[in-house]
A and B are shown apart, each in its own frame.
Chain A
Amino acid sequence: MDLFFQLTLAGLAIGSIYACVALAVVMIYQATDHFNFAQGEMAMFSTFICWTFLGLGLPVWVAAVLAIGTSFIAGLIIERVIIKPVENAPVLNQIIVFIGLLMIFNNVAGWIWEFTIKPFPSLFPDDFGFKSELIGPHHMGVIALTLTVLLLIFLFFRFTRVGLAMRAAAANPDSARLVGISVGWMLALGWGLAAAVGAVGGILVAPIVYLEPNMMSGVLLYAFAGALLGGVSSPGGAVLGGLIVGVLENWLGQYVPGGSELKLTFALILIVGVLLFKPAGLFGRVVIKRV
């Protein structure tokens, strides 16, 4: 029975990472109707930036905050410079730009920092949380911080002017423009926030999986699965979806024969299954298509 709880908690921890990336994916999707295929690689790159700050001798929290801030600005710039030219282009062109970004981030990271693994310190002290046989302090911290980020985002969108403006810009760009919201900048802000959330995910996962350029490539598919499962229109759903995928993945390995050999296939089946039978996800709104 211990194993069941251990697997579940470990699944929640890794699921939190999926949740962070899923959250970032959903934020961009909400603002712009895109799935950013480069989200994982951007998070990896942010983590390397944090690692560089650490190398300068900064304390881990300071480095993390600086890296998250840098990522926010970088996300903003990427939207304004690279994404803006294809804003009104066909979806295919946008997907191709994302894949281009994915390749650039991955290879440039390898080129600069090489592919050897790098240990990454935890944000949380060894005595963080409560003492338990089943879950370590870092894993507890990961889950707690992910939920905090979700709460902050919820509050931001619900109660701040900027957050409301962003929602308005995404929901109805034309009307938003009429009331004086700069839709373009709201999109950029969405990218900046997504990059920042992704950076949190990267910084949280690096102590578990070690920092290297392919750190996130395995995470992305699960994050997509999580985002779809929870519902691409719901940040809360994306987080829950990510957590569920993390836990299911661990259960699958233990309780289904051959399961540990087919984890990626499971993610694929989950994606296709959700899309077919519950396209809005568990918590998303059903979008009605008007002709």
Chain B
Amino acid sequence: MDRPNPITKKLLIGFLIALGVGILIPQITTDFTTYQFTLAISYGIAMLGLNILTGYNGQFSVGHSAFFAIGAYTAAIMIEHFAIDPYTSIVIAAFAAFVVGFLFGLPALRLEGLYLALATFGFAVATPQLLKFDAFEHWTGGVQGIFVPKPEPLMEGLSADQSLYYVAMGIMVFLMVVAWSILNSRSGRAMMAIRDNPVAAATMGINLPMVKTTTFGLSAMYAGIGGALFTYSSEFVSPDTFNFFIAVYILVGSVIGGIATIPGVIFGGLFIVFMPNYAQDLKLFFEGTEGPWAAVAGVVPPPWAIFGVMLILVIYFVPFGVWGGIERLWAWTKRRSAG
């Protein structure tokens, strides 16, 4: 039902405005804020992967932190052990995540809905332990993790943070266009047909296993690229970073942005990065005040509890997410003006 619209003039204008804002951000904010936006983009790319898998193909994953970690670690290992430049490393990380995702997609073929959620849950929970495993320690750095230097600025006059931001933004735009093109192609329609009615899709001659595993691989690849960018902006990977909570981060962001949308991930990424900071600022603000207001700080719940409540509320009231809401609002105003 949510088939993406073909290119219209308005869509193009909106896209260009968004692009302009994106380009402006590092120029009008500090390096620190720019870095936060880069983090948001890294999460956003992983969310895009989850959206393709879940929103458009109907396969579940509550374990995208695992693919995120594979991308992050592959990039770090390429740089640390093979002295490969960071941009080539992203490509290798993407490939590695694709392969693992594709392989994980094979057993996933036989699993439906809940069972797949369960298997991916297990994968996410076991990931930190695997990253620490002694046998891999030479490569992964074991519990110590790996330091990754931030890539050198690509252009003079840019700081490392600004440069990385532009790279991340460029990759995100590219990946969004790729996702959009795929979803509007034959294969994209096949993916959605499988989501909506697998049996009918099979009778229509769609190669179910092929489409599903490839989608899984593609989704994992997106998560892996997000992970690699995440590593560059944090300049560090360690096993305990990639716990189940990163998977929840990605899921929360996807749902809040709109799980069957492409641009929604921008909102999802921003929410995940900025919400906890605002909650903390609010708490600190109240702690700094005198009198009865100071007591408010004591009842600000921890950010994760707020995440939980928001997740449930979004599912109740706006299951189509922020972007889905914008689309609906848009359609509604158009209907009204039409008569």
Contact = CB atoms under 8 A, between A and B. Distances in A.
Query: Do A and B touch directly, given a CB cutoff of 8 Å in the complex?
Result: yes
A156 B119 CA distance: 32
A111 B316 contact: no
B173 interface: no
A262 B319 CA distance: 38
Contacts of A35: 114, 117-118
A86 B315 contact: yes
A102 B126 contact: no
A86 B121 contact: no
B305 interface: yes
Given A35-B114, A92-B54, A92-B259, A99 B122 contact: no
B300 to A, nearest CB: 10
Interface stretch (B11-19, B127-135, B219-227): B127-135
Given A261-B134, A264-B129, A271 B311 contact: no
Interface residues of B, number: 41
B113 interface: yes
Contacts of B255: 96
A252 interface: no
Nearest to A102: B308
Contacts of B135: 258
A225 B115 CA distance: 11
Nearest to B123: A268
Given A92-B259, A103-B248, A279 B110 contact: yes
A275 B133 contact: no
Contacts of B311: 96-97, 99-100, 103
Nearest to A267: B122
Contacts of B54: 92
B307 interface: yes
A37 B121 contact: yes
Interface in B308-322: 308-312, 315-316, 319
Interface centre among B62, B115, B307, B308 (most CB of A within 10 A): B308
A222 B144 CA distance: 27
B121 A224 contact: yes
Given A97-B311, A268-B125, A275-B110, A104 B305 contact: yes
Interface string A244-279: 000000000000001001111101100110011001
A34 B301 CA distance: 28
A108 B125 CA distance: 22
Contact of B62 (A95, A228, A268): A95
A89 interface: yes
A106 to B, nearest CB: 7
Contacts of B170: none
Contacts of B307: 100, 103
B316 A275 contact: no
Interface string A82-121: 1001100101110111011111101110110000000000
22 contacts: A33-B114, A34-B114, A35-B118, A92-B259, A95-B60, A95-B114, A95-B117, A96-B251, A96-B315, A97-B311, A100-B309, A102-B308, A103-B304, A103-B307, A104-B305, A104-B308, A104-B309, A110-B302, A221-B121, A261-B134, A268-B122, A279-B110
- In order of increasing CB-CB distance, the 6 nearest A-B pairs are A103-B308, A100-B311, A104-B308, A107-B305, A268-B122, A100-B312
